[in-house]
Chains A and B, each alone.
Chain A
Amino acid sequence: MPTGRDTKIVTARFGNEDAKTLAGYEKTGGYQTLRKALAMRPQDITAEVKASNLRGRGGAGFSTGVKWGFVPAGAAEVHLVCNADESEPGTCKDRELMYWDPHLLIEGMVIAAHALHSRHNFIYIRGEMMREYVVLQKAVDEAYARGYLGKNVLGTGSQIELTVHRGAGAYICGEETALLNSLEGLRGLPRLKPPFPAVKGLFGNPTIVNNVETLMNVPAIIDKGGAWFAELGMGRSGGTRIVCVSGHVEKPGVFELPIGITFTELIDEVCGGVWKGRKVKAVIPGGVSMPPLDPSELDVPIEFDALQTDERIKPVQYLPGKQFDLGGGKPLRTMAGSGGVVVMDDQTDIPKALWRILKFFAHESCGQCTPCREGTGWMEKVSRRIADGNGKPGDLELLGTIAHGIAGNTICALGDAAAWPAMGFLTKYWSEFEAKIRRAA
């Protein structure tokens, strides 16, 4: 494990009830960075964020500073939207982050809003997160009362409003364009891109959508500098990383760790090993959308680029011997995604696990694109009969072919998110699926 790096940026106040209040947050240094940031030129803040190598924690890992730079100069109205819809199975960090440190999110957003010249800002919080909504709304009210938000923030003359917008149950609203439709009061249907939100987003205005954890890193970057943040990380990924570990480990939990720790270290040293003295069979590295790792692939660092390119991770195939092509012959290995690590022990029924994942996507497809609407339903059906012991010869080929027909052929990435784990589990556990079908015959 990388040593001497127990830096906590976004979880430092976990467990501190007092820090949820504005007074308690200020006592621990809160809102000092905002004062510094308001005195900086907006473009200098964006430059600092770019230099920090902060990458989006919502799943895609895109450079935050570069994204901010896409907003056209001189736009009359710009919006910043925090994506707090967290619902990718296996992921449970944003909810904890908002619950324990709501003011850090607000401070990060006000700094970002200043950098982006955004007056009307929103937190889109998942409807089911009722406890977190209460905490957040209270913090926002406090911040207004103290002048950190409002028509004249801290007497600078800048207007920065922040509205907490509750969803009402729909996984797809985590996809940023579906989220914008939902914010506009429509059904949460993803939009065709381009135009990208940074050019034409909420209410037709340039809009930056960032994840909760992403925005909560901003105050530390402005306080300590982009170089400091970049230095903490590894390669092109700055800062720390939250991983949420669930499934068959002794000590599941939400941990802020140095980027670069391996899955083996995470499971054995942080989580007390696999439960009941068993061994690992499969690890989902970053939410259920991401292809799983088998036990021979766990010494790879948990870092965006490593998970995509490390040759110790086998390329995903849609049929035996047929490599899935991400475009231009690029193989799909896996991705760091949302940081949700799900560990499955050696007694796990893999066909059943895959069925449960596919059932989720079939349920959550918004139905706009035929490959996703029909394909996720078929995959659920075929995987269910395999899991139930009623699989037929040819079912695995069928599953792989459907997945291949969905991936890359849809409006939003939910199609890929359903196809990738199907292909990934088939690639690495083909013989277990086959054995189950053989027993059924």
Chain B
Amino acid sequence: MSLEFSADAQKKIAALCERYQVSGSKQPVVLAALHLAQKQFGHLSDDALRLVARTLELPYAQVYGVATFYTMFRREPGGVTTIRMCTNISCMLRGGYEVLAAFETKLGLAKGMSNSQFTLVEEECIAACANAPCALVGTKYLLDITPEQVPGLVEELIRDPHPESEVV
């Protein structure tokens, strides 16, 4: 199936292409276009990658290479809300793995897995180490989390989901 960008996305891509004219190509717009495609289609299917390639006049293989290099892009459908729970050193020292386990229990999801509502990711440092353990949910930071707080935090995210695509 051939996909099309929404009018809004097309406008944004056109503006960026102009902004990057100094580069002599549309290639620098590829990350932004992939973010927009993921927002619109939920994940980056082969068709979505073809759309980006066609829009930016780039080889499909190159767009594929980029889409699979960066961890925020997903090739499969995922949840509305992505919880990125840090377990790196500062978070681990203050119980990050226990908090991750509490998320797994409450969501009924192993790390790396999704249902229609949530995707749970074990994340590397999210640059909020002074408030460890912490998690990132779109524009929201969950700070100084204890395992006991996890069920309440999840309930809150069900009411107010903070999808990552919100900022694209």
Give chain A's interface residues, CB within 8 Å of chain B: 77, 86-92, 94-95, 119-120, 126-131, 133-134, 161, 163, 165-171, 182-188, 202-203, 244-248, 252-254, 284, 288, 340, 342, 344, 348, 352-353, 356-357, 360, 363-364
Cβ contact within 8 Å between B73 and A252: no
- How distant is the Cα of A95 from the Cα of B126 in the complex, in angstroms? 9
Whether A127 and B70, one on each chain, are in contact in the complex, defined by CB atoms closer than 8 angstroms, is yes
| B interface, size bucket | 35 or more
Q: Which residues of B contact A187 (CB under 8 A)?
A: 65-66, 69
**How many whole Å from A104's CB to the nearest CB in chain B?**
18
- Sample of 16 more A-B contacts, CB < 8 Å, known A127-B70, A246-B129: A89-B90, A91-B125, A120-B22, A127-B31, A128-B136, A129-B127, A130-B136, A165-B28, A171-B124, A185-B66, A252-B129, A254-B130, A288-B89, A353-B89, A360-B124, A364-B124
B139 proximity list for chain A (CB < 8 A): 130-131, 134
User: Which residues on B are within 8 Å of A, measured CB to CB?
Assistant: 19-20, 22-24, 27-32, 34-35, 58, 62, 65-66, 69-73, 84, 87-90, 92-94, 123-132, 136, 138-141, 164, 166-167
- Are B127 and A86 in contact (CB-based, < 8 A)? yes
In the bound complex, residues from chain B placing their C-beta under 8 Å from that of A131 are: 139-141
Report how far A125 CA is from B132 CA in the complex, Å.
22
Contact A246 B124 (CB under 8 A): no
Contact B31 A185, beta carbon cutoff 8 Å = yes
Shortest Cβ-Cβ A-B pairs, 9 listed: A169-B71, A168-B70, A246-B90, A246-B129, A185-B27, A169-B72, A89-B125, A185-B30, A131-B139
**Provided the pairs A247-B93, A254-B130, A357-B89 are in contact, do residues A89 and B66 lie with their beta carbons within 8 angstroms?**
no
Residue of A nearest to B87 (CB): A356
Determine how close the nearest CB of chain A comes to the CB of B101; give it in whole angstroms.
16
Tell me if A246 and B32 are in contact (CB < 8 A): no
Q: Chain A contacts of B30 at CB under 8 A?
A: 185
Closest-by-CB residue of A relative to B22 is: A120
Task: Judge whether A130 and B90 touch: CB under 8 Å.
Answer: no
Specify which of B24, B62, B72, B132 is in contact with A246 (CB 8 Å cutoff). Answer: B132
| Pairwise interchain contact A353-B35, C-beta atoms closer than 8 A | no
CB pair B69–A166 under 8 Å, yes or no, is no
* Nearest CB of chain A from residue B112's CB, rounded to whole Å: 13
Asked whether, in the complex, the Cβ of B124 is within 8 Å of the Cβ of A167, the reply is no
Q: List B contacts of A342 (CB < 8 A).
A: 89-90, 93, 129
B141 to chain A, nearest CB (A): 7
Please tell me which one of the listed residues A166, A245, A364 contacts residue B32 in the complex, with CB atoms under 8 A apart: A166
Q: Is there contact, CB below 8 Å, between B127 and A94?
A: yes
Closest-by-CB residue of A relative to B34 is: A168
Q: In the complex, are the beta carbons of B141 and A170 less than 8 A apart?
A: no
Complex: A142 Cα to B104 Cα, angstroms: 42
Alpha-carbon distance between A254 and B130 when the two chains are bound, in angstroms = 7
Which residues on the B side are within 8 Å of A246 (C-beta)?
A: 90, 93, 129-130, 132
Complex alpha-carbon distance, A244 and B93, angstroms: 15
Q: Are B130 and A244 in contact (CB under 8 A)?
A: yes
- How many Å lie between the Cα of A89 and that of B128 in the bound state? 9
Query: B124 — which chain A residues lie within 8 A by C-beta?
Result: 87, 89, 171, 360, 363-364
Q: Which residues of chain A come closer than 8 Å to B92, judged between CB atoms? A: 352-353, 356
Report chain B residues within 8 Å CB of A188: 69-70
Query: Which residues of chain B come closer than 8 Å to A126, judged between CB atoms?
Result: 127
Min distance, Cβ B100 to any Cβ of chain A, angstroms: 13
Residues of A within 8 A of B136 (CB): 128, 130
A340 cross-chain contacts in B, Cβ below 8 A: 129
A383: min CB distance to chain B, Å = 13
Contact A90 B70 (CB under 8 A): no
In the complex, what residues of A have CB within 8 A of residue B88's CB? 89, 288, 356, 360
Q: Are A133 and B127 in contact (CB under 8 A)?
A: no
Interchain CB contact (< 8 A) of B129 among A92, A120, A356, A357: A92
- A94 to B92 Cα, complex, angstroms: 22
Q: Which residues of B contact A170 (CB under 8 A)?
A: 69-71
Which residues on A sit within 8 Å (CB–CB) of B132? 246-247, 252
Please determine whether B129 and A87 come into contact, CB atoms closer than 8 angstroms. Answer: no
Bound-complex Cα distance A129 to B125 (A): 12
